[in-house]
Structure 1
Amino acid sequence: MNASTPLFWRDPRLPQVELRCIGDARQVAYARHSHAQWSLGAVTRGRSTFYYRDDTHAICAGDLVMMNPGWVHACNPIEQEPWAYLMLYVDTDWVSELRYRSGLSKSPEWQDIPTAALSTPVLYRRYRRMAALLLDERANLARKRGALTETLLAVFSHVQSGSERSSMKVPAPLERLAAYLDHHALERLTLERLCRISGYSSGHLIRAFKHHYGMTPRAYLINRRVQLGREWLNQGHSIAETALALGFNDQPHFQRTFKRLLAATPHQYRTHSTGKSALVQHDEQAAHGQQ
């Protein structure tokens, strides 16, 4: 397999998580996007630039990065330098309950974490051990689940989960509109309709929505459709029926948009690899990328 081809690990016994591995990400290019899940990544080789909401961070091998649900981000390589990473996507409701039951959050609802990146060797090593265990077909489910929860709680304890910055408080009409887009993403929505829902004029709506969410309402809607497409593919639906259900013009349009936002084709996302060999292959590809 080409070193730049992403590997996706999933296990139906642990539906709360998904792990992405890529050994040579020099050709990877993300458009700005967001996820419904909370994400925790580890840079395993090289350097990259991490755009997160309103800030840009220089990250390198040994760093961890965190992305809140719905926060716009993009992470891309620097001038063809070797770069490799692991990325864990975690169901928001599940991880919110985990934090709450552990006393690390005052509410069972999701609480945003202001920290974007960590350079903490002990947490990085713990993350790598957890990833290796998830990918190990010989490890039993209890060990996998234990490593997952212990790693996440160690990270949350370290950053002392904080509340969303008051300066980023989203006005109620925009929050309602974002929720409407989430729940009506498969409908044909006009700008006029969104203006009626929010009470904003078209120009004001586009500017205000982009200020608070990092993208225009249309870009937010497309991003939401791609995230739904990811769920459909994970459930076994074909690429063609997923593209049709999500309202894309045709299958190539869906494939181009999916790759632009997730840096992987729908086919690559469906053709995932499980087992310990996936992490071995990741490390071999990453090492080769530095040569």
Structure 2
Amino acid sequence: MTATPDPIFWCDARLPHVELRKVADGRQVCYAPHSHREWSLGAITAGCSTFDYRGQRHYMKAGDLVLINPDWVHNCNPIDNQPWSYLMLYVDTHWLTRLRHDLDQLPTPAWQDLATATLDDPGLYQGFCELADTLLDPDRELLAKQDRLVDYLTHLLARVAAAPSPAPVKVPPRIGELAAYLDQHCTDDLSLDALCQQAGCSPGYLIRAFRQAFGLTPHAYLVNRRIQLGRQQLRQGLPIAEAALNAGFSDQPHFQRTFKRLVAATPNQYRRQTSSVGASDS
């Protein structure tokens, strides 16, 4: 039996605002609901999959694009174990906000969510594949990668800029404050009682209101933040055990299981690739 190729993670210390993921056999990756701090763009390169995004299920096929706003809960998974493959680009939200503002698509340099969730556009799909090839090519110069990235995103943003921004989710102030508290204390050992006291509400209200606002329970939100922190640690080249501890996990096996469930790759697969690309040039 032919071994399933590992997912490819690309990043470059000279381009810290972008990261690329390439998966050749999506049957081997199953995601739990999760979110990213970055804005994300994906392309189905073969086969088909489901795309669950903020309460809606989309059925995606080869040639389709998905656009994922920062902190919007989602997951993509195979259909009946059918083969599929994809590319995913993660773009730093602050960097993309500045680009959108420079393009006169935002009145101020403050992030606004994009309404478009999926696109069936052969030209933009082909352009994304060419962008991915450029980023993954070790022989391409830095300027070539930067040019291709900005040029492609400029065309993509022009395509979706006309769509109105989605109505913002109404987050009760104390629930928003609690989310900010969890962001700051994601590595702490917290209890539901402590969170209820922090927010000044009952457990039932807290969990219901938090899920409505963020698509995750407070615990799932906390774990998601810990994995995001763990990814940053691994990308910096820290050992897995140290990254697990710094991210708030009590032991390495728990970190590894959770990382694979949310990132659909092992910490070692992620660390081995992202911590080495571009290191010799920095």
The TM tier, using the shorter chain, reads over 0.9
Q: Do structure 1's residue 91 and structure 2's residue 102 form an aligned pair?
A: no
Q: Do structure 1's residue 163 and structure 2's residue 165 form an aligned pair?
A: yes
Quick one: distance in 2 between partners of 1:40 and 1:162? 19
1:282 aligns to what? none
Residues 72, 214 of structure 2: 8 Å contact kept:
yes
Q: Deviations over 1:158-196 (max 9, x none)?
A: 111643314x22222222211111111112222122222
1:244 aligns to what? 245
Quick one: distance in 2 between partners of 1:4 and 1:260? 18
Quick one: distance in 2 between partners of 1:190 and 1:108? 37
Unaligned 5+ runs, structure 2: 278-282
Residues 111, 162 of structure 1: 8 Å contact kept:
no
Deviation at 1:2, TM superposition (A): 4.0
Unaligned 5+ runs, structure 1: 276-291
Q: What secondary structure does 1:41 align onto?
A: strand
Runs of 4+ in structure 1 over 6 Å off? none
TM-score, with normalisation over the residues of structure 2? 0.93
Q: What secondary structure does 2:28 align onto?
A: coil
Quick one: distance in 1 between partners of 2:119 and 2:207? 33
Residues 186, 248 of structure 2: 8 Å contact kept:
no
Residues 3, 22 of structure 1: 8 Å contact kept:
no
Q: What secondary structure does 2:15 align onto?
A: coil
* Aligned residue pair count: 274
What does residue range 179-198 of structure 1 map to in structure 2 within 5 Å?
179-198=180-199
Deviation at 1:237, TM superposition (A): 0.6
1:265 aligns to what? 266
1:5 aligns to what? 6
Deviates most, 45-54 or 150-159: 150-159
Letter in 2 for 1:81: Q
Q: Deviations over 1:29-51 (max 9, x none)?
A: 10000011110011000000000
Quick one: distance in 2 between partners of 1:201 and 1:34? 26
Quick one: distance in 1 between partners of 2:52 and 2:230? 24
Residues 17, 91 of structure 1: 8 Å contact kept:
yes
Between the aligned residues of both structures, percent identity stands at: 53
Higher relative contact order (CA closer than 8 Å, sequence separation 6+): 1
Residues 43, 62 of structure 1: 8 Å contact kept:
yes
What does residue range 13-92 of structure 1 map to in structure 2 within 5 Å?
13-92=14-93
Residues 52, 72 of structure 1: 8 Å contact kept:
yes
Q: Do structure 1's residue 132 and structure 2's residue 124 form an aligned pair?
A: no
Query: For residues 182 and 250 of structure 1, do their structure 2 counterparts lie closer, same or farther at Cα, with a shift above 3 Å needed?
Result: same
Q: What secondary structure does 1:218 align onto?
A: helix
2:214 aligns to what? 213
